[in-house]
Structure 1
Amino acid sequence: GQTAKIDVDTRGAVSALLQLSIAVAGVAAIPAIPVLAAGIGSIAAAATAAGAGIGALGAAAAPAILD
């Protein structure tokens, strides 16, 4: 038998597969966006409530501090 050497350039195929995997990951992330937004909203709501509580505590303590 004879031996043949074949050189194959796969850079284009690897690049296309990488682009395809990025596109699939982007499509898969779409349902997670509202969940992440809700999580961020709940963190903001908790921070607002904490700020309001600290403000109310300061308003209640101000007369005692000023005396």
Structure 2
Amino acid sequence: MTDLQRDFLLRYLHERGEMSQGERFGVEWQLLTSSASRKEYSDMERMHLSLSLHFAPPGGV
């Protein structure tokens, strides 16, 4: 993972934890409707899932 990818992932995780449901929906909608950002967003989602699975306690996710 490059430093840039790590920065994007950390920003993504921080924003997910600090926003209300309505704010998240607005940001996610903007990202998903922007073709330039869609790939970046899906890459961050994939990295988030990978990290969640990697650090999950044994026997549960």
Q: Same fold (TM over 0.5)?
A: no
The TM tier, using the shorter chain, reads 0.3 to 0.5
The structure with more radius of gyration: 1
Tell me the TM-score normalized by structure 1.
0.34
Q: What TM-score comes out, normalization by structure 2 length?
A: 0.37
* Higher relative contact order (Cα pairs below 8 Å, separated by 6+ residues): 2
